Each structure stands twice: as structure tokens, then as C-alpha cells.
Amino acid sequence: MMTHKHWKIGALFLVICLWSVKICYGQKAAVLSTTQLKKDVEYFNAIDDEAVKNYVSNAQSFEWLSNNIPLFDCPDSVIRTVYNYRWWSLRKHLKQTPDGFIFTEFITKVNHAGKHNAISSALGHHIYEGRWLHQSQFIDDYISFWLYVDPKHTAPRFHAFSSWVHDAVYQRYLVNLDKTFLQKHLLALEADYRKWEQERQLPNQLFWQFDVRDAMEESISGSRKEKNIRPTINSYMYGNAVALSQMAALLGNDTLQQKYQQKAEVLRRLVHENLWDKEAAFFKVKLEKGAFANAREAIGFIPWYFNLPDDSPLYARQWNQLTDTTGFRAKWGITTAERRHPLFRTHGSGHGCEWDGPVWPFATTQTLRALSNLLNNYKHHGTMTKEVFYEELYKYAQSHQMNGKLYLGEYQDEKNGEWLKGDIPRSKFYNHSGFADLIISDLIGLKPRSDNTLQIKPLLSPQQWDWFCLDKVLYHGKSVTILWDKTGKHYHKGKGMRIFVEGKEVFKSKKMRSTSITL
């Protein structure tokens, strides 16, 4: 007969087992299997010589991806394949070090990197992308590395490049609601903001930066010597101030909340007053000598990445340049400078980087997120539509190729898609941009929030696709599935749009539409 003691142990064991099953179930797919992911990974592995192996080898990649990423399915094989390819490529950059996990930018060692070959220029992109990984330790460690480990290094690299890390940390919180992580790092993040003020803030309270320290050399408006006031760093610092204010409010720190709310308000006003060129109808670089740079550049779209500009037809008009073929529209993607400018594509000869016009995934990611914010959060859109967003996202996906094979490099010719660095070892799998986050947060439209709400705002028209499914998304600790099935015959869950949380249907509609659901 089971004793009382044994019964208690048995009951405890049962509870632990049930709890474990619940956790595993919470990360299971409700609709999709991993069959397509497995096929894609087998293909990716087959075309790769795997010159570098980090924490997860190619042989281990399918298992790791199956355990860590949201699954995605759609009728466009280019977008679906590149979605999986970008996760597969990101995994290549995950390194386990004595200082915890980090993500590299270059797959091989480069001279300008810091400890463990780490570079901070695309840190914001890394965190935005990595916030959807199911295992939080990878990004936890990576953020901690930059805040605490790199500053102690003999040659610290954290401030080698402008950064929107504070914003990215807060946006990640909106996915996982890990308040403890914010409590642990708030003061370090605040100290980092003050350090930027000491290093780069002018007496007029705007920030200056060299284009090379924006990771955007050589640009038409840039300089390695002059203290130009750029839309990049000023937008980043605005986004960082907003994030610090929101994090402080969550943690009940009224003093910090008010301090950074005021800083954000001041920066927002100053950007409108100082960086808007009325004649060009564009946010531009203000040169150290006081005049505007005479070029429209893609960095002028960055303020919308942080919802900084006023909601006005005046500012929305800037976006008309995105679809102008003498502006930023090109066959292979969004150019980094307006094509009509006489200095377009003139800076690349004999130099390692060229931001005077070629297509850069780093900038494309920023511009697409900014466009998504314009369409979702503003009443005035200029000539921008969901169809424009989709067309540019598709170009971006299609650009992941070289010689008929999947490829991700540094930057491309806007007319023919040639990777201008060529197929050199350091440029392969260049981890300097985002893609999966654009699918999850923008195209499908899962908008992370701090309250107990699941908000979906698709940037797809019902005519675009007959079906899609985003599955196994870990959001606020729950597994979420979002699907659209026009006829109901593809996924056999019924006609129209369906949302599942932990496998239970919580929303259905015959039409594809925006919705908010209490979890």
C-alpha cells in the first residue's frame, strides 16, 4: 500500500510531469508541421561548405530551429524560403563564449571587431530578430555582454556605432514580458544613454555622428571628420529615450520616467525644427556648417521607425520618393540615396563600403519597418499602401541570391543585384539586418504590447495570398497561431482568418482584418 509520504512524492512527480507537458505543448505548433522546415534546412546545408562552425552546427540546425523559431507558411515560396534561410543563417552567428552567448556580425574574424569578434552596429536588428526565439538566454546574454563585459575590455566597441539598443530591449520585453530582466538592467541602460550624451550631444541638444560610426560609410552627406547632425542617431536617441521612459514607468521609477519623457519630447521637437528640409520635403542631414546636405538619403525614413514625425500630409509627402524611380525605387530594392543625385554611386571606387546608393539590407530593414509604422500608426500615408510594402518586401526576399543560389551578403547593385563585395568569406551570411521580424511583426502584423492583449494588424490585402500560417509564436508565454485560409481547404480549420492560443481557437472571421484579443 502507498504510504502518505510516497503518495505526496508521487503527486508532486505528477504535477511536475503535467507542468512539463504544458510547457512543451505551449511551444508546439497547432497547425504546421516541421516537414517544410526540414526540407529547407536540408537544402541550405547541401549548398553550404560550412567553413565556420559556432554553437549550432549545420547538422544540429534543424533540431535547434525546430525548438526555437516560429513556423511560417505561405504560397510565395521565395518569401517562405528566405524566412527559414534567415533563421538558419542567424543560427550560424550564435557563439557560446566564457562571457555567455553572443551573436556575431561577420562569420569570420575581422580586425575592427571587439572581444569574441563582436560588433555592435546591427545590435538593434539582432535583438528585434532574436526576440522571437523561444530560448531567451541567447539574447539575455548578448545584451548583458554589451552592457557589462565589453566596457571592461581593453578596447571596448559598444559605442563604436550608433545604437537603438534601449528601444530594442523594450520591444523585446513586449514579446516576453520579462520584467525581472528590465529591473536588472534599467540603470545600466540609463547610464549608457548618459554616456551617449557626453560623447555625441551638442549644446543645442541634438546629436552628431560620423557616417562611419553610423555603419553607413561612404555616404553622400557623410564625413569622418565633421560633426554632422544626422537623422540616424537623433532618431535612435529619441527611440531610446521613449523606451527608457516606458521601462521606468513599468518599474515605478517616476523620476526616470519623467526625465526621459521630457528628453524624448525635446528631441522630437528639435528633429522637426532642424532636420526637415522644406524645399526638398525630406528629413536630411544638417551639416556642421549649418546647411542641409543636398541629398535625400534613406536615413531620412528612419524617424518613422520610432514613430517620431507628426501625423501630417506635409511629412507623409516624403514617402512619395520611395516609389519614384529617380528617388529610391530600383529593380533590386530600395536604394540608400536618391538616384537622381549627381553623386549617386560615385563613392565606391577603391573603398570597402558604399552607402551612396547601393541596396543595403541594413537600411532596407529600417525603411520597411518605418513604412509599416506609417501605414499602421498614421492617418496620412502619402501614396504608400499595403501593396507598396509587399512589393518592396518581396524584392528584399528575392535579393537573397547569388549565381542561382541563396546568399546573404553586404550590399548590392540596385540594377542587377550583384553583391558588390563578391563571394568573399567574411561577407557570407552577413548578420547586419533583419527579415523574420518583418514577417512576424509587419506582414502578418503581430504587434507586441505591454498589456494582456494580442493585437494583429496584417499588412496583406486578402487578394495577395489565399492562405498563410504563422505558427508556434511564443508571445507573453503562450503559443500563438495566426492563419488565413480563403477557402478553408488548405488548413481545414474553416474559411477565413483564425487565431489560436495554446491550441484553442480564440478568434475567427470570414475576412482578413485587424483585431485585438484579450489573452
Q: What is the pLDDT of residues 207-239, one digit of tens each?
A: 999 999 999 999 999 999 999 999 999 999 999
Percent of the chain with pLDDT over 70: 94
Peptide bond connecting 218 to the previous residue in cis, omega within 30 degrees of 0: yes
Question: Taking CA 418 as the corner, what is the angle to CA 415 and CA 421, rounded to the nearest 5 degrees?
Answer: 130
Residue 39 has a pLDDT of: 98
DSSP 285: P
> How many angstroms separate the first and last alpha carbons of the chain?
44
Residues 174-210: b if buried by 16+ CB within 10 A, e if exposed = bbbbeeebbeebbeebbebbeebeeebbeeeebbbbb
- Per residue in 150-197, pLDDT (tens digit) is 999 989 999 999 999 999 999 999 999 999 999 999 999 999 999 999
- Gap between the Cα atoms of 308 and 267, Å rounded: 9
Length of the chain: 519
- Gap between the Cα atoms of 442 and 436, Å rounded: 10
- Per residue in 443-464, pLDDT (tens digit) is 999 999 999 999 999 999 888 9
Q: Name the residue among 371, 374, 426, 379 with its Cα closest to residue 395.
A: 371
Contact 250, 261 (CB under 8 A): no
Q: Which residues pair with 386 in a beta bridge?
A: none
- Per residue in 322-342, pLDDT (tens digit) is 999 999 999 999 999 999 999
- Gap between the Cα atoms of 505 and 141, Å rounded: 35
- Gap between the Cα atoms of 63 and 53, Å rounded: 16
Contact 55, 95 (CB under 8 A): yes
Residue 350 has a pLDDT of: 52
- Gap between the Cα atoms of 65 and 81, Å rounded: 14
pTM metric for this prediction: 0.94
Residue 348 has a pLDDT of: 78
Q: Which residues of the chain are modeled with pLDDT < 50? A: 1-26
Q: Which amino acid is at 450?
A: S
Contact 85, 406 (CB under 8 A): yes
Residue 243 has a pLDDT of: 99
DSSP 297: B
